[in-house]
Structure 1
Amino acid sequence: MHPLRDVVEDVARHAPGLRETGDPGDETTGHAPFLLVVTRELAPVEETVPLLRLSGGRKPGVIDRHYEEGALEKFVPVEKTEPPAAAYLLLDADRGEEFCGAVPRGALTTLAERGRTPLTIEEGLAFVTHFPGALAKNRCFSLGASRCGDRRVPALWISERAPKLGWCWEGNPHSWLGMASAATRVAA
């Protein structure tokens, strides 16, 4: 059997109650009760992004040209957001559209005060993979849990009718860019 399939089946065996919640999530509100996240250890970001599609879309996802060669591997989870396993569950994910127009630094402070965690790049990719409609016009989101030690904050948005992984400065607000978050991460 394929190693990734083994990991996914192991996670599914440990989450029978989640499969029976009856809440499939709602793409229009940008919320998902749970997401299966696979880290770059099993599915490299550079290979995963082109698999993304918008809801009803056909164009593959792209990585913004402003990620210089080798830059993506430098964007790693910040303290307290490390993945608990190579594949795991992310609970109560939200694209954070209430933070559209907010400065990312301020949104991160608010999330911390609420006991929520920002999403990593891999978690954002999982969100759009499972719920393509979660990425919508004027309802895109930053991924504040992946950083590289400077002021850049990764984000997913729409460009030329396709998902795009890019970054914005932590001090700049964007009216169309929220801050995605979740309640917690759960290992199998």
Structure 2
Amino acid sequence: MRGVGLIVAEREGPPVSLTSTAPAPTATATTPTVREQVERLVALGVPELAGVSAEELRSAASKLRGGARSILIVHPSLVPVSRLVPLLSRSGKPGFVVSDFSDLDQFEPLDDIDVPDRPLYLVHEVERGDDLRNWSPDEALPEIVSRGRRPLTVSEGVSWFLQQPDQLEPNFCAMTIGSRLRRPAGGLDARTPAIWISSGTGRDGRAVRGAPKLGWCWAGNRHTWLGFASAARC
């Protein structure tokens, strides 16, 4: 399944380097097995959201062959990403989509990203991209590609944090720039999806302070707390 075109902008200037003492930003050897991951999806209620049985979901997962660092992805055709986000949880608080992101489900993979046309699929060797914090999406995309990797789509990012919620940490969160929205008149919308932790300020409100938050950032802006989630290009 293919989406909108891969457009790379020129850098505005050299990004500021940031050092990090955070844990390794990858899906490590402790990544759950595919079987464990599908059972987590069952426990979270994904079959009910998708309108399928738990056995149908397990059957779809059983056809996949993962490695030690493979993450099970819920395709948006099975469950739209906006409906997956509330399954995210941190400190007992469910995830939420920011109020001005009503068109989230219209974001599609870049043309350069080949998303398998099946209800569940795998991505491999996921990284949070901490070393790219304080880069803009326009700056980070060509760097990710140069490393032989590709950015995660927003559905892939949410699916990853469902399986490894500890990878979403204060000041160590991630953009999912593999998804973009095509404008009706042509070209790409300037927003890029991102997943971070709400501070409970502004329109979010105090009640969601500390909750997982799916919002957006301008493609040309830098943020010190957002890396760029990516996977190995297979």
For the criterion TM > 0.5, the same-fold answer is yes
Q: Deviations over 1:18-68 (max 9, x none)?
A: 2xx4xxxxxxxxxxx1110011211122221111012xx210000011213
Residues 60 and 120 in structure 2, CA contact (< 8 A), matched pair in contact too: no
**Unpaired segments of 5 or more residues in structure 1?**
22-32
* Contact 2:126 2:231 (8 Å CA) reproduced: yes
1:111-130 equivalences under 5 Å are 111-130=144-163
Where does structure 2 lack aligned partners over 5 or more consecutive residues? Answer: 1-46, 182-187, 199-208
Work out the CA distance in 1 between the residues paired with 2:173 and 2:101.
19
CA contact (8 A) 1:62 1:164 kept: yes
**Does the 8 Å contact 2:82/2:105 carry over to 1?**
no
Identity across the alignment (%): 38
| Counterpart residue number, 1:96 | 129
The normalised TM-score by structure 2 is 0.67
Q: CA separation in 1, counterparts of 2:55 and 2:148?
A: 32
Distance 1:137 1:114 in 2: 26
- Selected match of 2:194 from 145, 149, 155: 155
CA displacement 1:69-118 (0-9 Å, x = unmatched): xx112211111214112210010111111111111111111011111010
Tell whether the 8 Å contact from 2:60 to 2:119 is kept in structure 1 after alignment: no
Report whether the alignment pairs 1:63 with 2:102: no
Q: Structure 1 residue runs of 4+, over 6 Å off?
A: none
Mapped pair 1:79 → 2:95: no
Q: Report the TM-score, using the length of structure 1 for normalisation.
A: 0.82
Query: What is the aligned-residue RMSD (CA, Å)?
Result: 1.8
The aligned residue for residue 166 of structure 1 is 215
Measured after TM superposition, the shift of residue 163 of structure 1 is 0.5
| Structure 1: distance between partners of 2:58 and 2:150 | 23
Distance 1:6 1:176, change over 3 A: same
Among residues 36, 56, 65, which one is paired with 1:6 in the alignment? 56
Q: Is the 8 A contact 1:119 1:145 kept in 2?
A: yes
Amino acid at match of 1:75: F
Whether 1:177 aligns to 2:177 is no
Task: Say which structure is richer in strand.
Answer: 1
Counterpart in 2 of 1:43?
Answer: 79
Would you say the 8 A contact 1:8–1:87 is kept in 2? no
Partner amino acid for 1:45?
A: V
Count residues in correspondence. Answer: 167
Query: Which protein is bigger by CA-based radius of gyration?
Result: 2
Q: Distance in 1 between matches of 2:120 and 2:54?
A: 8
**Deviation of 1:14 (Å):** 3.3
